[in-house]
Structure 1
Amino acid sequence: MINSTQRFAGKRVFVSGGSQGIGEAISLAFAREGARVAINGRKKDKLDELLPRLPKVEAGPHIECVADVSQENAVIEALDKTFRELNGLDVLICNAGIQVQSPSESLSLADFEKVLSVNVTGVMLCTREVLRRWVKDGTKGSIVINSSVHQIIPKPGFLGYSASKGAIGNMVRTWALEYASRGIRVNAVAPGAIVTPINDAWVKDPKKYKAVSEHIPMRRPGESDEIAEPTLFLASDQASYVTGQTLYIDGGMTLYADFEKNWTS
């Protein structure tokens, strides 16, 4: 669990996909550190379950925003509500994401576009709506986007996911350069194998769990809290001179794990 330091006392934070897994850990962590949190998700029952678990903060109550981030009008309404009820926003966390497995030769256009609509279009829509308001009122805010090690590591059988995370890297750099002079920072975290509901297929299968762990130099998958802490760091004033970066949080997966033992010479 992340220790509370109240780095975000009085700050206002929006977390997309904030009701489970990494998003849940991030939402809880911001609240523990004093922020008012607007948690977003598609399922109201999950938001209803999490909302009362967020630690109360002096700045005011947390709120929930039911919205599918792939839908433009839903995003606009969710951010309108957030800025209105929180009286502004200081931090945007784009965490919502999905994946669909399929051999590339049989991948349907519908499934490919479904992944891109959430992982790319959803990030664009949330970021656009926040930037629009920040530019207008002069807010020097921070944006952190949840990418993946598959931003740089291919993921056969998950073409849409790989394409979406590759896109995130350049979107982050583009926004960071475009808005740096306005005091707006944009960064990404790129988790490796993390114990979350999206990974239940291997997390709940002992043989698959062991196989995944053996491909990680640290010999274990990560936990959601281990992504939340670096996310908070990038969003905080402690990272005030950091923008346009992707921080890989992966137990060493991006270190060419198969080269851990020398087989090339």
Structure 2
Amino acid sequence: MRLQDKVAIVTGSSSGIGQDIAIRLAAEGAAVVINYSGNAEGAEATQFQIEQAGGRAFIVHADMSKVSDTQSLIEETWAHFGGCDILVNNAGVEKGADFWNVTEEDYDKVLDVNLKGVFFTTQAFVRRLRDAKRPGRIINISSVHEDMAFPHFSTYCASKGGLRMLTRNLAVELGPLNITINNIAPGAIVTPINRSLLADKPKLDALLRNIPLNRLGATDDVAALAAFLASDEAGYITGSTYVVDGGLMVNYHEQ
């Protein structure tokens, strides 16, 4: 198993992409810290699946929009497992609105979770690795919208664009510490956040016409890449974004 004896944190791993990444990393041998903010039952379901398969998992409640919570997530991980090797920054939110109707509250919510939370969780993780002189892997779950326009979701695009530049910058700064950092940018993936799209057949059909592979992605498609980037096989990869979108970005055009 590629991640035997490793410890991984996966933020927002009570559902969707984060849940499948946690399960996949555990299947590869890692002990996994499951993080959630509001979905305790989902976190318990993730833990149950990991432990049923013979893996190890530990749940930590932390709100990624609060710096104190990001720090406690790292500290609780070290206290429980004695260290950590892999951080997957997956937790994220989106709020749709015309640009002229975006409120300060909604702006703060999206940027605090998607960008500030990643920044300070990563900072606390890196400090621990630096002090222990340990290598590490950081994987950010970004979006095709770090590069691709998404009208009416300006806060989401701003947060993901910021995440792309943060990743590139930290690749340079953290490289000497033997810490790699990369983004995975999913396109249209079947997750709870896309429930309304899946129920709207005209919109779904229009989207599928823009995807050369003619299907939505599965959470497994993202989890498989995350497992690779977390492994020693990806030891010479840093500062990159890996797009998982079935060809959407290269083929997209407005209907």
TM-score over 0.5 (shorter chain): yes
Note the alpha carbon deviations across 1:140-188, whole angstroms, 9 max, x for none.
0000000000011011100000000000111001111001011100001
Q: Report if the CA contact (8 A) 2:12-2:92 is conserved.
A: yes
1:172 matched to 2:172? The reply is: no
2:181 counterpart residue number: 186
How far apart, in 2, do the equivalents of 1:149 and 1:93 lie? 17
Structure 1 letter corresponding to 2:4:
A
Note the alpha carbon deviations across 1:24-59, whole angstroms, 9 max, x for none.
11000011111100010113222122211114687x
Gaps of 5+ in 2: none
Q: TM-score scaled to structure 2, two decimals?
A: 0.95
Structure 1 letter corresponding to 2:165:
N
1:124 matched to 2:116? The reply is: no
- Which stretch of structure 1 is more off in the superposition, 229-238 or 115-124? 229-238
Q: TM-score scaled to structure 1, two decimals?
A: 0.92
Q: Report if the CA contact (8 A) 2:212-2:251 is conserved.
A: no
How far apart, in 2, do the equivalents of 1:156 and 1:67 lie? 30
Partner SS state of residue 39, structure 1: strand
How far apart, in 1, do the equivalents of 2:197 and 2:53 lie? 37
1:145 counterpart residue number: 140
Q: 1:213 aligns with which of 193, 204, 208?
A: 208
Partner SS state of residue 196, structure 2: helix
1:50 counterpart residue number: 46
2:192 counterpart residue number: 197
1:112 matched to 2:107? The reply is: yes
Structure 2 letter corresponding to 1:53:
Q
Q: Report if the CA contact (8 A) 2:182-2:240 is conserved.
A: yes
Q: Report if the CA contact (8 A) 1:36-1:57 is conserved.
A: no
Q: Report if the CA contact (8 A) 1:32-1:55 is conserved.
A: no
Structure 2 letter corresponding to 1:123:
V
Structure 1 letter corresponding to 2:148:
I
Pair 56,79 (structure 1): closer, same or farther in 2 beyond 3 Å: farther
How far apart, in 2, do the equivalents of 1:231 and 1:48 lie? 22
Gaps of 5+ in 1: 1-5, 260-265
1:245 matched to 2:248? The reply is: no
1:85 matched to 2:59? The reply is: no
Pair 159,88 (structure 1): closer, same or farther in 2 beyond 3 Å: same
Partner SS state of residue 48, structure 1: helix
How far apart, in 1, do the equivalents of 2:78 and 2:164 lie? 27
Pair 57,139 (structure 1): closer, same or farther in 2 beyond 3 Å: farther
How far apart, in 1, do the equivalents of 2:20 and 2:42 lie? 14
Residue 217 of structure 1: how far off its partner (Å): 1.7
Structure 1 letter corresponding to 2:176:
S
Q: How does 1:18-97 map to 2 (within 5 A)?
A: 18-42=13-37, 43-55=39-51, 61-97=56-92
How far apart, in 1, do the equivalents of 2:191 and 2:53 lie? 27
1:262 counterpart residue number: none
How far apart, in 2, do the equivalents of 1:74 and 1:174 lie? 24
Residue 256 of structure 1: how far off its partner (Å): 3.6
The number of aligned residues is 253
Residue 229 of structure 1: how far off its partner (Å): 0.6
Partner SS state of residue 251, structure 1: coil
Q: Report if the CA contact (8 A) 1:216-1:253 is conserved.
A: yes
Q: Report if the CA contact (8 A) 2:167-2:183 is conserved.
A: yes
| Aligned residues with identical type, % of pairs | 35
Structure 2 letter corresponding to 1:89:
C
- Which stretch of structure 1 is more off in the superposition, 233-242 or 46-55? 46-55
Partner SS state of residue 258, structure 1: coil
How far apart, in 2, do the equivalents of 1:77 and 1:45 lie? 21
Q: Report if the CA contact (8 A) 1:217-1:257 is conserved.
A: no
